[in-house]
Amino acid sequence: MEPVDEHFLSAVDGLRTRDDAPEPDADLVARLEALFLAQAESRHLDLAARQLQQRGIGFYTIASAGHESNAALGLLSRATDPALLHYRSGGFYAARAHVAGGVDPVRETLRSLTCSAADPISGGRHKVFGHAGLHVVPQTSTIASHLPRAVGLGFALGLARQLGRETPWPEDAVVIATFGDASLNHSTAAGAFNAAAYLTHVRRDCPVLLVCEDNRIGISTRTPAGWPATVLQHLPGLPYVHAAGHEPVQLLETTAAALDAVRTRRAPAVLHLSTVRFMGHAGSDVEMAYRSQAAIQADLALDPLLGTARALVEGGHWSAEDARARYEQVRQCVHDEALDVGGEPRLTSREEVMAPLELPRPLTRPTPQPPDPSPLTLAQAINRTLAEALEEHADVLVFGEDVAVKGGIYGVTRGLRRRFGAARVFDTLLDEQTVVGTALGTALAGFVPVPEIQYLAYLHNAEDQLRGEAATLRFFSDGQYSNGMVVRVPGLAYQKGFGGHFHNDNALAVLRDVPGIAVAVASHPHSAPGLLRGCLDLARAGRVCVYVEPIARYHTRDLFDGDQGWLAPFDSSTRATTSDLVGYGTGRDLVIVTFGNGVFMSLRVARALRAEGFGCTVLDLAWVAPLPVGALLDEVAHAAAILVVDETRRSGGVSEAVVTALVDAGVEAPVARVASADSFVPLGPAADTVLLQEDEILAAALALLRP
């Protein structure tokens, strides 16, 4: 028997009704009884998780034991309030299920613990607290990475109200986000707090209750006494309240007041919930290695489940025997359900596991329309496509650092704010994780966000938001939740007179490694609009897209001096799919496979090759993830030789995947590749020493053609 289980039973047997117990309050008694049920279910599910693991049919043992006071939030919030929960939120989940009705929290949690394919949220992919019917959005965060999304969702609820748009939640809904005291110290949490405080300061609605569940320890590292309160009490404009988890009457009062304040004010607030942690960090954790027996014993006196039992017994509503009987009744229920659920089928194939990550099938293309005869640069073509999307779809939002008033560092979004208003085209804080967090929240609320990360090198500041939050939501909710978006990223290298590493980053590996994300690279103004529309189509279908825009080509006009070969009329009808690529030429002596700035350089090289008597075709991949392998293989089927031109780094670059695809398909034509060096990009002319150059492409091409 676990010590916390043994201590509870022993302590309950010693409880007695107080002689000075007040007159019973029927509503309070009902709430305490509901609180006890949810807390007891959570506790016994934690105990069952250890037993299931020992039997080899359970796969998760991070317990909610000691945190069951969060059941008060599940009990007192509305079942239509979106909740993004800490992984110790078993009490909340059970209480929310009982409030909503129709969901058995015991059975559904057991399904999650055992990876049952019938798990109602992840479909057997992960142990998460989530349920679409309960408006619990699944999170896998351990470091508060869900908080930017929570703040973004609070902002989205206010924005939807302002624009008169419906969301999946009522107009007066409150977003609830729970996190631990150790996560409080993460930069992601700090960024979310700052964004919430900023929205309060500028008087924008953001109804989110940020709940710190403070058990005073992060795995084995103690949180300094008073530190969480110090941080949380000094967030500008965010009201702070504290509740002790083992004092249920005060807990219920404080929680109700906090929820009511956020719902009424439509502004964020902080609830600091004192908790304890039982059963270690997880099943493999040996607390005695870093905690004293006295400290562990002291926490037992602060057991929230025992606190609720004490309130019921000492208040004269239950006897000690009643408390024990109800506790054991829940144990038996959990035991019986565990036996039943343990035999349910699990996912057994790669296709089943990956189903939520599959991109939609290509959409039917509209009838082509005559292109606008006025030639545009790449920047102008993207601007016009964004304006088209904003005009045609009232749910599209464009935002980021400097995109609104200034119109973007390179003028790509110029004029959009003036035309479509500050509610739909707006500047954000100078914080990339907040930019993506805003996209995550607005997407959940039914918008189609088009956020901009100002430079490719800055994307790493928001990498976890993209990888750990945006990309995983469909996977861990079995497609029930999605956050479709198009993240615009000015990037890649070859800028003249300006640059260095942070403004000339040429690495795409971090994007291509994320399952389920589509990554497009625009190259020419004639193909960029269709590619952006293709990304918007995918976003509207709930997928996450990254649209990379080569900075060096934004305002390019000529392929060769004075020819205006890098301008194009605006095409208002095409929409690319992930199976498309773009071809230039019909020569088969050499097919050059490339993307981005490589298209510009390769077309210049192709003319030089034609002057030497060689026929050459240049293929613009357009999509670097997933690669359009089928179309690529069709195009190279009759090539005498293939050269892959890759402006990204040789190690981990796009060319590695292209060559692998050709080899896997058994392509017999000789294949070579050229790429940039494995180096950061220096400032000034030295950049040319590490970035792929035209003369290298030409030399590699001639080596294939003249072996």
Cis bond before residue 626 (omega within 30° of 0): yes
pLDDT band at 2 (very low <50, low <70, confident <90, very high): very high
28 Cβ contact list (under 8 Å, min separation 6): 249, 252
Q: Write down the pLDDT at residue 260.
A: 98
Q: Write down the pLDDT at residue 208.
A: 98
Contact predicate 537/576, CB 8 Å = no
**Which DSSP helix (H) or strand (E) runs through 108?**
helix 105-113
Q: Which amino acid is at 638?
A: H
**Lowest mean pLDDT: which of 100-109, 153-162, 284-293, 539-548?**
284-293
- In the predicted structure, residue 619 carries a pLDDT above the cut 70: yes
User: What is the residue-wise DSSP string for 133-181?
Assistant: GGTEE----SSSTTHHHHHHHHHHHHHHHHHT---SS-TT--EEEEEET
Joined together, the tokens standing for residue 677 give: 């060096």
Q: Write down the pLDDT at residue 87.
A: 92
- In the predicted structure, residue 22 carries a pLDDT above the cut 90: no
Q: Write down the pLDDT at residue 51.
A: 95
Q: Write down the pLDDT at residue 370.
A: 73
Q: Write down the pLDDT at residue 655.
A: 97
136-161: average pLDDT: 93
512-529: average pLDDT: 96
- In the predicted structure, residue 636 carries a pLDDT above the cut 90: yes
Q: Distance between CA 27 and CA 36 in Å, rounded?
A: 14
**C-alpha closest to that of 510 among 519, 500, 502:** 519
pTM of the model: 0.95
Joined together, the tokens standing for residue 484 give: 């479709």
Kindly report the three-state secondary structure assignment for every residue of 310-360: HHHHHCCCCCHHHHHHHHHHHHHHHHHHHHHHCCCCECCCHHHHHHHHCCC
Q: Write down the pLDDT at residue 362.
A: 62
**pLDDT per position as a tens digit, 590-604:** 999 999 999 999 999
Q: Distance between CA 528 and CA 534 in Å, rounded?
A: 10
Backbone angles phi, psi at 299, to 5 degrees: -65, -30
- In the predicted structure, residue 125 carries a pLDDT above the cut 70: yes
Q: Write down the pLDDT at residue 707.
A: 77
- Classify residue 249 by its DSSP letter: H
Q: Write down the pLDDT at residue 496.
A: 82
**pLDDT per position as a tens digit, 184-233:** 999 999 999 999 999 999 999 999 999 999 999 999 999 999 999 999 99
User: What is the residue-wise DSSP string for 539-595?
Assistant: HHTT-EEEEEEEGGGTT---SSTTS-TT-EEPPSS----TT--EEE----SEEEEE-
- In the predicted structure, residue 368 carries a pLDDT above the cut 70: no
In terms of residues, how long is the chain?
707
Chain mean pLDDT for the chain: 95
* Angle between helix 293-300 and helix 3-13 axes, rounded to 10 deg: 50
pLDDT band at 55 (very low <50, low <70, confident <90, very high): very high
**pLDDT per position as a tens digit, 651-667:** 999 999 999 999 999 99
Q: Write down the pLDDT at residue 154.
A: 98
Joined together, the tokens standing for residue 573 give: 């009808």
**Lowest mean pLDDT: which of 275-284, 309-318, 467-476, 495-504?**
495-504
Q: Distance between CA 47 and CA 309 in Å, rounded?
A: 19
In this structure, the number of other CB atoms found within 10 A of the CB of residue 108 comes to 24
Q: Distance between CA 465 and CA 514 in Å, rounded?
A: 12
Q: Write down the pLDDT at residue 421.
A: 97
With H, G, I as helix, E, B as strand and everything else as coil, classify residue 502. Answer: helix
**Lowest mean pLDDT: which of 106-110, 140-144, 569-573?**
140-144
Contact predicate 575/363, CB 8 Å = yes
- In the predicted structure, residue 138 carries a pLDDT above the cut 70: yes
pLDDT band at 431 (very low <50, low <70, confident <90, very high): very high
Contact predicate 214/272, CB 8 Å = yes
pLDDT band at 488 (very low <50, low <70, confident <90, very high): very high
- In the predicted structure, residue 365 carries a pLDDT above the cut 70: no
- In the predicted structure, residue 23 carries a pLDDT above the cut 90: no
pLDDT band at 143 (very low <50, low <70, confident <90, very high): confident
377-383: average pLDDT: 98
pLDDT band at 572 (very low <50, low <70, confident <90, very high): confident
Q: Distance between CA 587 and CA 701 in Å, rounded?
A: 13
120-131: average pLDDT: 96
